[in-house]
Every structure is written in C-alpha cells, then in structure tokens.
Amino acid sequence: MKASILGRSLRPVAATLAAAAIGLGASGAAHAQAKEQFIPLTGYWVGPYAAGGSGFFGGMVDYLTMLNERDGGVNGVKFTFEKCETEYNNARGVECYERLKKKGPTGATLVHPLSTGITYSILEKAPQDKVPIISMGYGRTDAADGRVFPWVFPLITTYWSQASAMINYIAKKEGGHDKLKGKKIVLLYHDSAYGKEPHAVLQDEAKRHGFDLTLIAVAHPGNEQGAQWQQIRQIRPDYVILWGWGVMNPTALKAAQKTGFPREKMIGVWWAGAEEDTIPAGDAAKGYVAAGFNVAGTNYPVIREIQKYVYGKGKGEMDDKSRVGSIYYNRGVVAGIITAEAVRLAQERFGKGQPMTGEQVRWGIERLNIDNARLKQLGAEGFMPPLKVTCQDHEGSGLVKFQEWDGKQWKVLTDWIEPDRKLVRDKIEASAAAYAKEKGIALRDCSKEN
C-alpha cells in the first residue's frame, strides 16, 4: 500500500522527467538533422529597380524551390531562404548582409548582391566572414582574377568581355574584323561608374580595328536625350551601343525612332535588354538588339519543370505568372543553377547530404564545370553558356548571345559569341595587380590549389 502511494506520487515526476528527456533528445536530433542550406536574398522588391530585383530573385527562388520539391533539395539538403529589402541602397545592403550572414545551420551559403554598389560595399567583409560573393554580370570586373579575389566570382561574363563581344558581333555582321575600319560607332552611356566601365576596352578595340568611337554621356536618369540624339544625327554612326539603365533605355529607343536611326543598328548591354526596357518603348523597340548571358522564353525543360513542380503546387514567387520566362526571371534561374551546382560539387568533396559552409561552397564554385552535357541534364541547354571556373579565372565563360526584340518577345539572333579574351584578360590582370599592390595582397599560387 505504501509502495503504491509512493509509486503514484512519483509517477507524475517520472513522467515529466521522461518527457523532458524525450524532448531533449528530440531537440538534439532536430539540431543535428537540420539539413538545410541557407541562401540570403538581399534584393529589392520595391523602388525604381524593382522589376530587375523581383524578377531575378523570383527566378532564383523558384529554381531552388523546384529542386526542393522535385529532388528534396541537393542530396536531401533543402534550400531555405530569407528576404531582406535593400532598396538598391548600399548602407541597407550592408545591414541586410550582416543580418543574414549567420542564419541557417551553416550560415549564408553565398550571396548574390545584385547591385554593383552593394558588391563593392561587402567586397572586403565577405572574405572575413567566409561568404562567397557571386556577382553575375555586374560588380567589380577585375575580380575575375581569382588569384587576387578568392571570394568574389563575377561569373559568366563581365562588362569588359561584353564590350569586346559586341565589337565581335558587329564585325561578324559586317563580314570580318577588317571591315570595321573607318566605321563609326557611338557609345551612348549612363553617366555613372557603370556607364564608364566599357570605355577603356572599346577605346582599345577602336585603336586596333581602326573604327571611330564617340562617347556620349546621358545624365541620370536619362529621360531627356534630345541633345545626344542631335549629336548622333550629325555623326551618322554605323552602330550605336546603348549602355543604359532604367528609364534611359526606352527613352533612347523612342529618340532613335524620332531621329530615324535604325533600331537594328542599336545594340544594348544586358541591363538594357529586358522586356522592361522594350515594352515601354512600344513600336520604337522593334528590331532592337541586345546582348545577354541568358535567353528569354519558357520553352526550356528547366522552366517547364519549374511550372510543373512550383507553380503547379501554387508555391511560385511571381505574382504575375506571365513574367516567368522573362529575361530577368531567367537570369535568376541561371543564378539558381549556379548556386545549386556549386553546393552539389562541394557536397561531393566534403560530405554528401550535409549542409555546406560558405568556405566549402567557395571551393565548389571555384571548380564549377557546367558543360553542354551537364546543361542538357539540367534542362538548360542553350539557356545559359557553358561555364568553367578555375582558380585563375573567376569569370568562367565570357560568352553572350544577341537577341532581337520583334515587338512582342526576344528572339535569339546568334549563337554564343566570344570576346577578345586576351585583350580583356590582360586588362583584368593589370587592374587586379594594381589593387593587390595598393592593398598589399600576395597573389595566390593557383598551382598549389587542390
């Protein structure tokens, strides 16, 4: 009798203890099994550049969500996200980066700042925190020299490669580089650091091939270009390269129509070659050509998979589903592919089915080799150029396609076009070396990397 009283009075205590033990065990297990790969989304969904930011991050998140839904992530490690609005403002970008860098079981995997200014602002912070920066088609061009910038990857192509590829495209159209002699080319550029990036490369190209280059600046934001087009009318150039941003692009297209300059002879940079640039210009955009390191359209297996697994389940990022397949959206899908492939490669080396740290992912990015066969498996053949990153070369490709706006959509005109690799690479190395000297950085010896 006594024992039973004791037993009864002790039972709740024992039960509580047992429950606590189970709870502890469960939480411990949950901690060990948090198979998540955290991706910070430092982007912009409001403000003047929201079209670019929402499209890009929409595409990236949708692609990674598709992997989560279809394959359960990468070898069972699912991607998780957190958004932080930067408004394209450097100080806000730094705050977002600082806030998100330690989240998730292994911290931020990598960061896509999607702003040249923010890329610069975290350029020296990220290596200290061991977070790789991927700046696809923007940011610091000379970071393509991986010996000086181990943590920064301006993947696929840089402004300098693109300027050079544009000249190669013109030469191809004209029937050879020797035909460039005596031609007149105008660079109509956004008067900012971004717009001045291509000057040196184009001037070198002009010297070598003997064409006349005129640089014409447009002040931000660029909604008034009367004087510039007056000047273009006087010069009567053979080609106009449009290095614009935001409202400057449709304005230039409309002004070209008014001036009677053929749109087929206007070539845009990839930040001037999205639907958001051409649709506001209406008819005036018809025939306009722009470079791009990804193509538009939904007719690729990878996009169809996203529509099936993500939008089919009502989990898509884009409120306006018609933007799936637009230039910015597809660029985000390219970013997603690169992110996932880098994580996959890192897992093969450091442990399959484990969340990777930023340091391990950096190892993966530096060894990315996405060839055409792999692109085909991913359902992205022709969607983005093949990519091979090395310790030396953090650009990895340099290829761009040229697309024409037919009034309704972008039509691919060319295959992947090469830049003048030697010219660009020499410039990159010279600039990176100057930076290394200023900062007292010793060049990394790439033969010792494994």
Partner 1 sequence: MLYREAGQFKATYAEDQQIFPIRQDRIAITALLLVAFLVIPFVASDYWLKAILIPFLIFSLAALGLNILTGYAGQLSLGTAGFMAVGAFAAYNFELRVEWMPILVSWALGGLAAALVGIVFGLPSLRIKGFYLAVATLAAQFFIVWALTKFPWFSNYSSSGVITTGKTEIFGYVFDSPREKYLLVLAIVVLMALAAKNMVRSETGRAWMAVRDMDVAAEVVGIRMMHTKLLAFAVSSFYCGVAGALYAYAYIGTVEPEGFNLDLSFRILFMIIIGGVGSILGSFLGAGFIILFPIFLNSYADPIAHALGIDLPPGMTSNLELMIFGALIIFFLAVEPHGLARLWQIGKEKLRLWPFPH
Does 90 contact partner 1 by CB under 8 A? yes
**Nearer Cβ to partner 1 (26/200):** 200
Q: How far is Cα 322 from Cα 380, in angstroms, rounded to an integer?
A: 20
Does 321 contact partner 1 by CB under 8 A? no
Token pair listed for 60 = 């990236």
The contact mask relative to partner 1 for 105-144 (x = CB under 8 A, - = no) is -----------xx--xx-xxx--------------xxx--
440 SS3 class: coil
- In whole angstroms, how far apart are CA 60 and each of 229, 250, 329, 334, 418? 38, 26, 8, 7, 26
Does 429 contact partner 1 by CB under 8 A? no
Does 162 contact partner 1 by CB under 8 A? no
Environment class of 336 (CB within 10 Å of its CB; exposed 0-12, middle 13-18, buried 19+) = buried
Closest CA to 394 of 123, 209, 174, 175: 123
The count of residues in the chain is 450
**Nearer Cβ to partner 1 (52/364):** 52
Query: How does strand 212-218 pair with strand 184-190?
Result: parallel
Contact residue for partner 1 among 36, 75, 89, 416 (CB under 8 A): 89
Q: Which amino acid is at 8?
A: R
The contact mask relative to partner 1 for 43-82 (x = CB under 8 A, - = no) is --xxx--x---x----------------------------
The contact mask relative to partner 1 for 373-412 (x = CB under 8 A, - = no) is ----------------------------------------
CB of 159 to partner 1, least distance (A): 9
292 SS3 class: strand
How many CB atoms sit inside 10 A of residue 247's CB? Answer: 16
Determine what percent of the chain falls in helix, strand and coil, rounding each to the nearest 5: 50, 15, 35
**Nearer Cβ to partner 1 (199/411):** 199
CB 234 within 8 A of CB 197: no
Does 192 contact partner 1 by CB under 8 A? yes
**Nearer Cβ to partner 1 (127/386):** 127
**Nearer Cβ to partner 1 (192/390):** 192
**Nearer Cβ to partner 1 (129/418):** 129
Binding site for partner 1 (CB under 8 A): 45-47, 50, 54, 83-85, 87, 89-92, 94-95, 98-99, 102, 116-117, 120-121, 123-125, 140-142, 191-194, 196-197, 200, 319, 431, 435, 438-439
